[in-house]
Each structure stands twice: as structure tokens, then as C-alpha cells.
Amino acid sequence: MSSILTNDSASIALMTLQSINSNIADVQSQISTGRKVAGADDNAAVWAIAKTMEADVLGYRKVSDSLALGGSTLSVARNAAETITDLLTEIKAHVVTAQGENVDRSKIQANIGALRDQIAAVVGAAQFNGMNLLKNTEATEGSGSEAVLGFLQRDASGVRGVDIAITKRDLGQGAGAISASGGTYAAAVASATLNATQSGTLNASAVTVTAGMAFSLNIFGTDADDSTFTQADLRFTTAANETRAEMTNAPIFYVARDGDTASDVMTQLVRRFESYAAQNDIDESVLSMTASGSSISVNSSVTDGTDTIAVSLNTLTADAGNTIGGGLELLASFDVTTTSGASDALSQIEGLLTTATDAAAGFGSDQNRLETQTAFNGKLTDAMRAGIGTLVDADLEESSARLQALQVQQQLAIQALSIANGSPRALLGLFR
């Protein structure tokens, strides 16, 4: 049935044309913006995922800034540690020269003093943006390392930053000290007596080391007639056990810094014993010590049932307010103007060189770690950008081809609408 009031064909043709025009508008938007999902109205789920990933990519840009800052700080510290290693090598050469009897030790000492001052200047200047990784003398827990934002981690609870800890490595020469009052003192937490059994072990594995905690080695030798060794040289206290008051003036002590382990403490105490032995001409046959992990092995080839040497480890908690010394603390006491002083310096310089080289190597390893993380973050953000592009970017080749097809459909739809609109005119012929 034909009607001049209702033209179903025209309505259908008009709806088809409107649909084609809508599709053309969508394709033109994709071509102009380059995105197939430009807003939440295009595809809410994909748009939300893409926006979350874009936020992560922006976050990684800030992570890169943090890693760059940390890398620069480490570079400064590493170069400073390498310079200090070179200066210590020069000091070693002077110390070796001072071992001779026919040398001007006072001039050698002056050269060593100048090099010590230069080391102190390098440590003071080795800061970047206010951060100095060559200083670590604070007793506050966690002060021995600095956190660098390394990467972002997303899980069910959301996104969070993950830090990379950079360890400080002190190369200062400040002197440590044990407080005269306060704290909790513990005598002989580990001990050994050398007698006919000429070896023993001080095991500190049960001791919990905290920053600012003081440790001392007490030696109490018994040789009434000084036939085997000089009793006064191997007797630090009036009785076998050290008292709290006597610990304050202990000749062999160490105040732990943040990050130290029991192994670090034992190593430092042995170095200080070696310095004491060199200054007081104590032969290794009389008493020697070796650090191994959290223990110290003590040995003597001269003790017997009568002539004995007792060695004990004592502790004082950090709340006493002890002063933490520098990593090169023993360097400040170098005095090669005497034979015993030159011998002491020679016994200590290798340990100080090891401290400096370990610091430089540690900074280098940390720097490489940050560089590796930076490279990984770069690859990760590239992959995330590619993923975002897959989700929201338009395929311009496909869009171009589709636009041409839609334009042809549009022309045909216009013609179909024109034909449909002309159909009612044919009814006029029936009334002529």
C-alpha cells in the first residue's frame, strides 16, 4: 500500500544515511586524533586501563630522575674514594721509607700529615646536592644508608615505590670515644684464657650490634717475673675483668656505626690490637689475633700453666652516648718519627687501604646497579607505551580505507533517500 502520509522507504533510507554519517564522524575523529579510544565514551574499560598505564609511565619518568640523582651522588663518592685510595698509597710509600734508620722521619711525617689533610678535604667535599656518602658517624638507626627510588610495583593493593638502599662508607678520620657514664655495661660477653692451651676463640655471634654500641678488648696477662713477656704491657686492668670505669680508657675499643655487623666489629678490634702490639713491641709469638666472621682467634706460643694471658670482649650499649669514629680513624694516629710509630703505621696502612678500596668498589657496584635499573626502567616504559598504543591508537591505514568505503556508502544512501522521497510523486499519475 502506498501513502502520501507515511513513507517507510524514506525513513529507512534516512536512518541508513544517519548511521553512515555517524560512522564517518567516528573515523574522521580517529584520523584527526590518532586514537580509536579518545575518551571514556569510546570504550570505558580500555580507556581506564590506558589511563592507569599512562600514569605509571609518567611515574617512571620521576623514577628516572631519582635514579639519575642517585647515580650522580654515587659517582662523586666513588671518585672521592678512588682519590683517597691513591693518597693512601702515597702514604704507604712514605711509611715504608720511614722504616729505615738513616732517614729524616720528621720530614716524612710532615708529608704524611699533608696527605692526611688532603684526605680530610676530599671527604668533606665529596657531597652532591647536600648528600655525602663518605660520612657515617650518626648513631640513628638507618642513618648508614640512603634510599633511592628504584622502580614502581603494582599489585592488588595498588602501586607503591620500591627503594634501592645505598650504603654509606665512612672514610673520615674522627676519633671514637666511649662515654664515661650511662648505658648498660656487660663484661666478658666472650672470653678465652691462653695457658698451656695456647689458643682460644672469642665468639660474638650472640651479640646484637647496634649503631653507637661500644666494644672493648681487655687483656690481662700474668707473668710475675716478666720471664716470658712483660706483664705490664699485657695488663690493661687491675683485675681480670674490666670494670665500667676502666672501659672508658680501654686502649683497644671500637664504637660500631650503623650497618656494622659482628664481623665488622671483630675486624676493627683486631686492627686496633695490631696497632697496640706494634706500639708496644709485642711479638706475635707472645700474642696474636685473627678475625674470622663474628669470632676472634687468639694465639700464643709462649704461655703455659703459670704464665697466662686472658682476653675478654666487653660491651656498652649505644644509649651511653658513645662517639663513633671515622673509617680511617687509625690514620690520624700515624707518627713515624719513632721506630715504634713507623712500625705501627706499617702494620695499619694495609687495613686502611683495604677500607678505602672496599669503599670505592662498593660505590662502583651500587652505581652499576642504578645504571642497570635505569636501563631496565627505560625498556619497561617503552613496552608500556607500546601496550597503550595497542589499546587506544587508531590503525590509520584501516581508517583511511574505511573512510573511503563509508563515503561511497554515503553517496549511495543519499541517492536511495532521493529515490524514496520521489516515490509519492508517482501517485499523482493515478489522479490525472
The reported pLDDT for the residue numbered 278 is 86
- Written as one letter, the residue type at 121 is A
Whether 265 and 137 map to the same domain: the answer is no
The H-or-E segment that residue 193 falls in is: strand 185-194
Residues 191 and 167 in one domain: no
Query: pLDDT tens for residues 139-150?
Result: 888 889 888 888
- pLDDT tens for 16-67 read 888 888 878 777 777 776 677 777 777 788 888 888 788 888 888 888 888 9
Same domain, 55 and 92: yes
Evaluate whether residue 212 is within a structural domain.
Answer: yes
CA distances in angstroms from 296 to 203, 246, 347, listed in the order given: 7, 22, 18
Q: pLDDT band at 215, cuts 50/70/90?
A: very high
pLDDT-derived band of residue 13, with 50, 70 and 90 as boundaries?
A: confident
Is 286 in contact with 233 (CB distance < 8 Å)? no
Residues facing 323 on adjacent strands: 177
CA distance 182 to 322: 10
Are 270 and 150 found together in one domain? no
Whether 155 is in a domain gets the answer yes
From CA 331, how far away is CA 349, in angstroms rounded? 8
Longest dimension (CA), the chain: 154
* Domain membership flag for residue 413: no
Number of domains, the chain: 2
Cell of 182: 650511662
DSSP, residue by residue, 359-387: HHHHHHHHHHHHHHHHHHHHHHHHHHHHH
Cell of 39: 575518551
State whether 273 and 311 are in the same domain.
yes
Q: Is 144 in the same domain as 112? A: yes
Per-residue cell: 113: 700529615
Instruction: Let me know if 351 is exposed, middle or buried by CB neighbors in 10 A (0-12, 13-18, 19+).
Output: middle
Given this model, what pLDDT does residue 1 score? 59
- Residue 214 CA to residue 101 CA, distance in Å, equals 38
Which residues make Cβ contacts (< 8 Å) with residue 114, sequence separation at least 6? Answer: none
Q: What is the pLDDT of residue 404?
A: 84
Domain-located, residue 247: yes
* 3-class secondary structure, 394: coil
Give yes or no: residues 317 and 262 share one domain.
Answer: yes
Within a domain: 36:
no
Domain that holds residue 58: 48-171+362-384
Same domain, 375 and 287: no
Q: Would you say 158 and 56 are in contact if contact means Cβ atoms under 8 Å apart?
A: no
Considering the domain architecture, whether residues 151 and 279 belong to the same structural domain is answered as: no
Judge whether 416 lies within some domain.
Answer: no
In angstroms, the Cα distances linking 325 to 87, 101, 105, 171, 345 are 20, 33, 27, 10, 18
Closest CA to 178 of 74, 275, 62, 314: 314
Average pLDDT score over the chain: 88
In terms of domains, do 191 and 270 share one? yes
pLDDT at 272: 92
Calculate what percentage of the chain has a pLDDT beyond 70: 96
**Same domain, residue pair 159 and 194:** no
The CATH number of whichever domain residue 139 belongs to comes to 1.20.1330.10
Q: Is residue 99, in this structure, part of any structural domain at all?
A: yes
> What length is written for the chain?
432
- pTM greater than the 0.75 cutoff: yes
Same domain, 258 and 143: no
- The answer to whether position 20 is within a domain reads no
| Distances 164 to 134, 191, 360, 367 between C-alpha atoms, Å | 18, 39, 18, 11
> pLDDT by residue (tens digit) across 246-269?
999 999 999 999 999 999 999 999
Torsion of CA 98, 104, 108, 109, to 10 degrees: 100
The residue among 403 and 95 whose pLDDT is bigger is: 95
Q: Which residues contact 120 (CB under 8 A, 6 or more apart)?
A: 172, 173
Compute the distance between CA of residue 26 and CA of residue 17 in angstroms, rounded to an integer. 14
pLDDT of 2 reads: 63
pLDDT tens across 153-204, in order? 777 777 777 888 899 999 999 999 999 999 999 999 999 999 999 999 999 9
Query: Between these two residues, 427 and 229, which has the higher pLDDT value?
Result: 229
